[in-house]
Amino acid sequence: MHEMQVVEIKRIIKETKRIKTFILDLDVSAIPGQFVMVWLPGVDEKPMSVSYAKGDLGITVLRLGDFTRRLFELSPGDLLGIRGPMGRGFKVYGDRLLLVGGGVGVAPLAPLAEEALAEGKEVTAIIGAITKSELLFVDRIERAGGRVLISTDDGSAGKKGFTTDVLRELLEEETFDQCFTCGPEIMMAKVLAITGEKGIPTQASLHRYFKCGIGICGQCVLDGIGLRVCKEGPTFRDKELRKSPEFGKYWRNAAGQKIYFGGKK
């Protein structure tokens, strides 16, 4: 049973101007890529990927709408309801791993990098953000022994441009056993296209509007493949996503209507 546990916030870390990490008084073991449903009593409940997966569980959140704005007002000692960790986490194959994370999408990739590096694997992470001050977990991955390549939209750090520009250049020179990506879905679709050309198996972590979070309401089912993001996902293999006409194109709002990324059909 996925019972809701109401737990205290132990620590809050301000990562960037718009991103905070909440470390919870909840000692559970999660697989990087899994998510928890986070209930803010009286407000709402939303899925968040786990950014600290062992020991006290952590989530890393971008302030975006009403729910995250209310979350950002909380202090250590305040309460959150947690269901999970749930869903399918990343599965690591091979020894040379490539991570591509955009914005707050680096959240589930950081614990993956730490665990892989601890097991003696090689990790290269391409991290992108709109600007230098919004880059997430660069130090954390470097501290764990990973190599980090950076892109920023405005060129304030690393390469000016997108993670996919760095990725394209990198794959001219090097190859990897496996790629993991999380970030805006249009970015992930481009990552899959690039790694696909090079024959690098890739796993992507998807975000969808969730209701039940336990695989019964149908809200997050992907068109074409019928897989539930909350249950068979949120991480998917490239070969699964290539069969879905929805991936990289649209998501469904709370009413189940298709909403196209970037507003175009």
Partner 1 sequence: MLEVELCGIRLRNPTMLASGILGTSGAALKRVAVSGGAGAIVTKSIGLTPREGHRNPTVVEISGGLISAIGLANPGYEEFGDEIRVAREGGVPVIGSVYGFNFAEYASVAEKLESYGVDAIELNISYPNVGKAGAFFGYSEELAHEVVKEVKKKVSLPVFAKLTAGAGDIVAIAKACEEAGADAITAIGALRAMKIDLVTGKPVLGNEVGGLSGPCIKPIALRCVYEIAREVGIPVIGCGGIATGEDAVEFFLAGARAVQIGTAVLYRGITVFKKVSQEIKEYLEENGYSSVDEIVGLALR
Q: Please tell me the number of Cα atoms within 13 Å of 203 on its side-chain side.
A: 24
Q: Checking DSSP bridges between strand 96-102 and strand 178-182, what pairing results, if any?
A: parallel
Q: Is 221 in the site for partner 1 (CB under 8 A)?
A: yes
- Minimum CB–partner distance for residue 98 and partner 1 (Å): 30
Name which of 180 and 210 has its Cβ closer to partner 1. 210
37 binds partner 1 (CB under 8 A): yes
Number of residues that bind partner 1 (CB under 8 A): 38
Q: Which stretch binds partner 1 (CB under 8 A): 26-34, 125-133, 174-182, 225-233?
A: 225-233
For tokens 């390549």, the residue is 149
Q: Which is nearer to partner 1, 2 or 239 (CB)?
A: 2
Q: Is 11 left (phi over 0), alpha (psi -120 to 50) or beta?
A: beta
Give 169's contacts (C-beta < 8 A, 6+ positions apart): none
User: Does residue number 75 form part of the binding site for partner 1 (CB under 8 A)?
Assistant: no
The reply to whether 194 sits near partner 1 by the rule CB under 8 A is: no
Q: Is 217 in the site for partner 1 (CB under 8 A)?
A: yes
Tell the smallest beta-carbon distance from residue 69 to partner 1 (Å). Answer: 15
Given 11, 27, 41, 91, the residue binding partner 1 (CB under 8 A)? 41
Q: Are strands 44-52 and 35-40 parallel, antiparallel or unpaired?
A: antiparallel
Q: Does 155 bind partner 1 (CB under 8 A)?
A: no
Geometric angle at alpha carbon 124, from 13 and 187, rounded to 5°: 75
Closest CA to 73 of 27, 24, 9, 130: 9
129 vs 208: CA distance, rounded Å? 21
Under the binding rule (CB under 8 A), the answer on residue 199 touching partner 1 is no
- The CA distance from 167 to 98, in Å, is 9
Candidate residues 223, 237, 242, 249; the one interacting with partner 1 per rule CB under 8 A = 223
What residues line the site for partner 1 (CB under 8 A)?
1-4, 6, 37, 39, 41-42, 44-46, 79, 81, 210-219, 221-226, 228, 252-258
